[in-house]
Chains A and B, each alone.
Chain A
Amino acid sequence: MSMLDRIVGSRRAADGNGHVAVEAGLVTDATQLASARPTPWQTVQTARNIARPHALDIINRVFERFHELHGDRSFRDDPAIVGGIAELAGRPVMVVGQQKGSSTEENIQRNFGMPYPEGYRKAMRLYRLAQKFHLPLVTLVDTPGAYPGPEAEERGQAEAIASSIQLMTRLGVPVVVVVLGEGGSGGALALGVGDVVLALENATYSVISPEGCAAILWRSASEAERAAVAMKLAGPDLLETGVADALIREPAGGAHTDHDATAAAIKTALVAQIDRLSRVPVADLLSLRYERFRSFGMFVEPNGGAAPEPPAPWWRRILKNPLEKGGL
């Protein structure tokens, strides 16, 4: 039993890779959810609902005294990523999130929550700042994906995402990730590497959008509904695969019906997680974070990973090892 297990409480399951306390009112098992679940496609629609609480709606309700920090110190300030220092139940923390708009105008200004490379570089600057001054980090994931335009390519979208993931895997402060709505591919993962990954009940997390998957595999974007089912991107599936450690319950009808209640549930979960994680030595946090992501993968190894026996040389096959019989 590791240090973290003793402090955090029992593991979710023997084979699970999360370490979330159950008493924080979280859903750690799909059976705890209501039996009449929305279909994956309905979940995708809920996660994208424009009235759903976005990062700043949550930040302003969950944290006290949030002060936003701007810019990546190299190119510009990306409005699709917001971040800053705030207080969570009196404790200073760093919070970084992807920001979608609540109206068409705001969505255009926020680029529909699709960050440019400079957005990820701003996030990295804030991660380093958090590490330097020992501020626990909270990230809020809500993006259809990283912006795929030509300017983003010119400025190194892939490199920015890769570096952001790399920095998060080795960041020496507690990191709690909350998936608020859409967790779109690498663009989401760049904010998604944490000690604990929580997701709202109707959030999704996927390798590609259902439309993109359908366009490639079924050659028709109208098969998105089938793709959404096949991809297992909704809450209960995320628990099953371990991508999310626990789900945060939403008000009946979805998070968009009551922002305050949603924020309150998130706050309870965050306070509990940050409280626990900040008592864990940093070296343990890092090795457990490594193990958490190390354990993803399902494959089969017939020989248990051992190297195959090299074929015996031809003379050995003829002589059948004479040394065993006492020599020639």
Chain B
Amino acid sequence: MRLRNPFGRKTQEFPSHLWTQCPSCGEMLFNKQLERNHSVCQKCGHHFKLGALARIELLADPKSFSETDADMVSSDPLGFVDSKPYPERIAAARAKSGHKDAVLTGNAQISGIPVVLAVMDFEFMGGSMGSVVGEKITRAAERAFSERKPLVIVSASGGARMQEGTIALMQLAKTVAAVARLDEAAIPFISVLTDPTTGGVLASFASLGDIVLAEPGALIGFSGARVTSETIGEKLPKGFQRSEFLLEHGFVDQVVPRTQLKERIAFFLNAFRVAGQDLRWSL
């Protein structure tokens, strides 16, 4: 006979702080196990969104990451107020995500190769790019340029930050100008697109990697799916704007599962480094 508490609420079978349901296959996943598997569903391989810190842990060698420009915070260039003032939104996002803005940048090593690493976090206002993200990405690219280190950027962003208006739009040109100099100086730039990478971030530096990698099933596109379906007045096909769609149309080099991401990046960086050291080219 089962004992039950006649007064209290029925205990949940899967309390949400312990269990997560996979949106793709419906499997209940034990959170600790999910974390150990880098937020990838063990059953169907669905890739959950990964925070910036977990991403750095995934890609950088242990204890090799040292953050730069950690204190930079956004000011309110336009005095923007929608349903609440922009500074309040920033404060809420800081409390929610634990970061000061939507990107962490720093020096790191990937399988022993020194790189400049920038990782975006979707938790902070949808990973949107305003002045701070633009400036930190630009500084990261400039540091890669002056120290001749490869640049690796992991994007996760809804696009430009509307609350900073045209200043946010200008961040597209600013970041692109910085990675364009890397391109001219033949310093490798690897862009990793994760779920989601859309709008102004995809229309700037994220599309311009020497190598562009994407995580499986990530939403990647220029305009939001809602805008697109309203434009043509019909529903979009399944898999539209997903990583595999971009692979098929020739806009990403590979779709790489999260567990293989580090070794794949290391392989490409190593290939460029070894070839770059070959003296025959410089003679």
Contacts and interface: CB of A to CB of B under 8 A. Distances in A.
Interface of A: 146-150, 152-159, 161-163, 165-166, 169-170, 185-186, 189, 192-193, 205-208, 212-213, 216-218, 227, 230-233, 237-238, 241, 243, 289-290, 293-294, 296-303, 305, 307-308
Contacts of B177: 166, 169-170, 193, 289-290, 293-294
Contacts of A293: 170, 173-174, 177
Interface size class of B (residues with CB under 8 A): 35 or more
A169 B181 CA distance: 9
Contacts of B208: 162-163, 166
A153 B222 contact: yes
A125 to B, nearest CB: 18
Contacts of B179: 166
B236 interface: yes
Contacts, number: 201
A189 B172 contact: yes
30 contacts: A148-B231, A149-B231, A153-B222, A157-B223, A158-B207, A158-B221, A161-B222, A162-B172, A166-B179, A169-B173, A170-B184, A186-B160, A189-B169, A193-B173, A206-B165, A207-B162, A207-B168, A213-B162, A217-B162, A227-B82, A230-B78, A243-B166, A289-B177, A296-B131, A296-B174, A297-B171, A300-B73, A301-B73, A303-B71, A305-B72
B165 to A, nearest CB: 5
A153 B176 contact: no
Nearest to A190: B203
Given A169-B177, A299-B132, A294 B251 contact: no
B282 to A, nearest CB: 23
B251 A159 contact: yes
Contact of B228 (A149, A159, A193): A149
Given A149-B231, A293-B174, A297-B134, A307 B68 contact: yes
A264 B236 CA distance: 47
Nearest to B183: A166
A305 B139 CA distance: 11
Interface in B213-260: 221-223, 227-228, 231-232, 236, 240-241, 245, 249-251
